[in-house]
Every structure is written in structure tokens, then in C-alpha cells.
């Protein structure tokens, strides 16, 4: 369980998001085009790395890495919680996705990484979206949305409202109207994992498990 009060607030959470958008825009639209068009996977990696760097910079200004939930002890228990949580969130995500696909005829390939997995002709071509969705994105997004944003939301609105706000914020930044509900519910589940354990490791594992399993299913189908 999260035991310490955050040394930052919603203002800092918003500042990191705004700076992330600005830096990514400058790199993607101004700097990289001077040399060559950047592939989508490279931009995705740069975006997540920038998010990590900005979040850590703000955290180190106000506190320590442990304030961010980067404390993985007890390791075995946190890994197990992450795997169990990942299975549960995958089931929840799959149920919501099934409803949207069957009722609304939604396109499951609307996500760029899912589209890359669907277009992959070999396991090697699948490696890039798996690396981004299964490792880089979970680390970056758990650090920012759960480790950094969630405690600020809980401090402002309380545990229940803070977890809900965290999920809605997580989904809103993904800019996916079609999958808003699914992403929000998964975000709330990941927020609950972090609040309960006080460690980002279970959320990183669960997040990576959901993303990796989904891409592999898309590739195999």
C-alpha cells in the first residue's frame, strides 16, 4: 500500500505531460525530418523514453526513486501478484473488447502497435512491437501514470476517486475514443495494483503481460 504522501502534485503531473508533448513534437516534426522520415516504432520508443526521463527528473527534484514506487521488495511476491493481475486484466480487457467488436464492429487494428503485429510476416518483424508494447511502454507508463500521477490524484481526491481519475487520465492521454472504456478499466486495475502493493513491479509485469499476449494473439490470428 502507498504509505507516503507525494512530494509533488497535479501541477507537476500536468507539467510533465505538457513537456512530453512539446519535446516529442519538436523531435518528430522539426529535428528528425531534417535527416530522414522516422519509422513509427522509433517515434514510439522516443516518446516513452522522453516520458521516463521527464518523470524521473521531476521526482528527483522533489524526492527519491522510492517515492515513485521503484522498490521491488518482496520480489517473488510482487512478481506473482503481477502475473495474477495480468491474467485478470487480460480477461477484463478481452471481455470489453469482445463486446465492442461484436456489437459495434470495432476495428481491433486501430492501435498502431496492434496494426504492426497484424502486418508482421515473421517473428522478427513482431519483435519491434513486442519490445515497445511489452517492455518499454509498461515501464514508462507505470512510472508516470501510476508512480507519479496516481499519488497526486489520491492526495487530492482520496483513494477511490484517485484510482478512477488515474484510469480516466490514462485512457484520455491515449487519445482512443473507440477503446476509451477498455483502457480506462485496465488503468484503474493497474492503479489498484500499485496502491495495494506500493511497488511498480506488479503493474509493469501485468501491463506487459496484457500487451504482449494481445499482440501475440493478433499475430497468430
Q: How confident is the model at residue 192 (pLDDT cuts 50, 70, 90)?
A: very high
Work out the average pLDDT over 45-72: 91
pTM of the model: 0.93
- Give me the pLDDT at residue 81, please: 97
What is the grid cell recorded at 162? 484517485
- Give me the pLDDT at residue 101, please: 73
- Are 145 and 166 in contact by the 8 Å Cβ rule? The answer is yes
What is the grid cell recorded at 41? 516504432
- At residue 143, does pLDDT exceed 90? yes
Q: How confident is the model at residue 105 (pLDDT cuts 50, 70, 90)?
A: low
- Are 51 and 20 in contact by the 8 Å Cβ rule? The answer is yes
Work out the average pLDDT over 65-86: 93
Q: How confident is the model at residue 185 (pLDDT cuts 50, 70, 90)?
A: very high
Work out the average pLDDT over 33-58: 88
Work out the average pLDDT over 75-84: 96
- Give me the pLDDT at residue 106, please: 57
DSSP secondary structure, 133-172, as one string? IIIIHHHHHIIIIIIIIHHHHHHHH-HHHHHHHHHHHHHH
The widest CA-to-CA distance across the chain, in whole angstroms, is: 48
Amino acid at each position: 500500500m502507498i504509505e507516503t504522501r507525494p512530494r509533488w502534485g497535479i501541477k507537476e503531473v500536468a507539467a510533465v505531460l505538457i513537456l512530453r508533448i512539446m519535446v516529442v513534437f519538436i523531435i518528430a516534426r522539426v529535428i528528425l525530418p531534417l535527416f530522414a522520415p522516422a519509422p513509427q516504432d522509433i517515434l514510439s520508443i522516443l516518446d516513452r523514453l522522453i516520458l521516463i526521463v521527464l518523470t524521473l527528473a521531476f521526482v528527483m527534484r522533489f524526492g527519491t526513486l522510492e517515492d515513485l514506487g521503484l522498490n521491488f521488495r518482496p520480489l517473488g511476491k510482487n512478481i506473482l501478484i503481477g502475473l495474477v493481475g495480468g491474467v485478470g486484466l487480460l480477461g477484463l480487457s478481452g471481455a470489453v473488447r469482445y463486446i465492442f467488436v461484436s456489437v459495434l464492429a470495432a476495428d481491433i487494428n486501430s492501435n498502431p502497435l496492434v496494426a504492426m503485429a497484424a502486418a508482421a510476416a515473421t517473428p522478427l518483424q513482431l519483435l519491434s512491437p513486442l519490445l515497445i508494447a511489452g517492455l518499454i511502454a509498461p515501464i514508462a507508463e507505470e512510472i508516470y501514470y501510476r508512480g507519479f500521477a496516481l499519488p497526486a490524484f489520491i492526495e487530492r481526491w482520496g483513494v477511490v476517486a484517485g484510482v478512477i481519475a488515474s484510469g480516466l487520465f490514462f485512457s484520455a492521454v491515449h487519445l482512443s475514443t473507440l477503446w476509451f472504456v477498455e483502457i480506462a478499466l485496465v488503468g484503474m486495475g493497474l492503479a489498484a495494483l500499485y496502491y495495494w502493493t506500493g511497488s511498480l513491479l506488479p503493474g509493469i509485469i501485468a501491463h506487459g503481460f496484457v500487451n504482449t499476449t494481445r499482440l501475440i494473439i493478433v499475430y497468430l490470428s
